[in-house]
A and B are shown apart, each in its own frame.
Chain A
Amino acid sequence: MTNKAQYMTPEVKVRERLKLVFTGHVDHGKSTVIGRLLYDTNSLNRGIIDKVKKISAETGQPFEFAFLLDAFEEEQKQGITIDTTQLQFKTEKRDYVIIDAPGHKEFLKNMISGAADAEAAFLVIDAARGLEEQSRRHAHMLALLGLNQIGVIVNKMDLVQYDRMTYEKIVAEISQFLANLGLETSVCLPLSALSGQNIVEPSPELAWSNGPTLIEALDSLAKGTEDDLSFRLPLQDVYKFDDRRILVGRIEAGSIKIGDRVALSPGRKVTTVTKLAAWLARDEKTRAHAGESVGLMVSDEFFNRRGEVVSSAEKPPLVSQRFKASIFWMGRSPLIPGHHYKLKLATSETEAWVSEIIHLIDSATLDALPPTNNRVGFNEVALVEMNLSKPIALDLFSSHKATGRFVLISSFDVVGGGIITWAEDTGDVKYGFIHGQLKARCEVFEEYYYNADEMAVNKIAQEKPLYTIGDLVPLTGQSYVYPEFFDIVIFRDLVAVKIRAGQVADILPLSDYAFQGWPLVNGRGFGVMVRSQDDWLRAKADLATLTSENQTARVQRWLDFNTYRHIPIGVHDYSI
């Protein structure tokens, strides 16, 4: 008999891993709690401990548990956490990634970086000092970041002689605050990190709490999953390294299998998954789940680009250019309505601006406040209305986290983050021109051809870009040639567009447009036969009030197809 055992994988038991962040006001002892937890569970290697001992000896300071995490010289010298750290440790039940987040308000952006990565959070509160400004602000941030498992640690119980009343008062206060944020408190416990009470072993001093130790509290948290939601995969890229065309991205929600009908939004084009591609044959599979990075092959070749969202065909995301969001501002300069930012949502990047600051939210009381000077300042939270330069695929944060949140960039830096609370679904309507609130559809650069098989004129399906002031437009196509200077009048959206030297020079309401002698085309690229302002006013009156009775006569009177367009014979379907 051959010895089979040696070919078997030695460890098949799969351990769960949970990411936990510790947050709270500066000096309430987050780093000490974590340092103590890691030290008491023997999770730190000797090198780190020796290093901290060496530093303590050199500086004549007592051994500082927080230094086990606060690795930067500046952090140790000042005794505060500046940046977030991640460390790992394990209990019997599972593995943990422990994230330490700074509590000083100057470093809120670092706290957010740490907390955004977590699946559950602990709020650490100093028993002697109770809730302070950053305790509440951090709780508010955790709600905005979508964390719904929050534990409460009342630390430094030694400073209040392990007093039960003090503990219960703090717990009642924070639980109420969390409830106002729509959050339930998952677990609460008193402890003293400095003296090691209630970390690993139950503390005799805290016997009245009957509660869990810190280790037990960690293990009581549940691990969430995005697997049951409808499928979402924000497209990262399209690869054509060889003869395969592979759409790549990470599954943010739901699952996908070969044969599934999927939609690609914002275009909402529908196709079928034919293969989940992989480098190694052993990695090829028929089904993939939330969290996996996959390569999809589909039955139809569309023009696909990064930023599109692949979804189930039945439950696609919203397609929107306007939404409301709760945002938190991390920029040194305030958010200003009308100022343009780059918005990054999943893998899409779009130009965006705030059209209205609806109200600010006071992080201490959660009250709605009117904005000061119509600005959102550093570390402030606000409800705003956002506008985008083009429609993108998105979701409400309450239905899909990954496609319902975004960051804003201003001159290279992330200055804000937000979660979408309401969105106007514009669906399939695709605009071709945009400027501020003005939007117009555009068929000026569409290509037509004569299909000799069908003896019909067909339009070639193509991806349409969105033009705004300053953009170059394609003056020459296969089926049209426009002059370098001309005007476009779009009656159905009541917008006029001026093209000068091949560039969009202006986009204005049709009512403000005056004819200045430049060649004129309508929204489909047909010539509009006017020679004077009087002609234009008559044409406008006629064409803006078309009915089924009058339209043939009026269209024939004012419009001419052949001025700038012709119809080439399409070669794809031509057979003799």
Chain B
Amino acid sequence: MYNLVMKDLKLGISPWFLALPLFTGALMLIPGWVYFLVPMYFCFITVPNMFGGFKSQHDLLFSTMMPVTKKDIVKARFAVIVVLELLHLLIAMIFGAFTLRLYPNLTYIFFAPHPGFWGLCFVMLAIFNLILLPMYYKTAYKYGAATTVSSTAAILFALAVQWAGIRIAALNDIFYGPGTENTGLQLSILLAGVLVFTAFTLIAYRVSARRFLKVEII
């Protein structure tokens, strides 16, 4: 599996997409912006370009010619996607920490980059993975519908929690009010988000691997 991951990182993915998290992460420095958009750039830009590259370079045929199992092909691709997602989130979190210190008295309309917000971002990417990858692995090359549906689901989740965060008092307290000072609560939400991300991605892997076993390399 390691060789497949290295194949993706060295051949399949343009180095630009490894650098992109630095640029999207820097957008966290815009005061009071819609920070949900930062990890969403991974969904909008990296995923379709990366999958388009795999398709145009016949990566599926290339991989299946190698002495590797089909499960390992899926596992390696999941590993690469998760690494890129974590790169986007971790770099954005670092920039977000600077933002909180740079603009301490800002009134946020959209979520501020507190740890709890990053928990929500993990859930958003969990939903994205859960829809994108099993849909993609029905064919292992058609990515248009999978990207559209999964990105739409991620946007709807972001809109729903943003709306709830503004309109529902209990949530407003957590993300805008005294809850932002409660480090334990914030870290708990972050941890819950990481757990949801892990669980959903594992489920997505199991479904994808099962589907890919049935895919014929034509």
User: Are A and B subunits of one complex?
Assistant: no
Identify the B interface with A (CB < 8 A).
none
Identify the A interface with B (CB < 8 A).
none
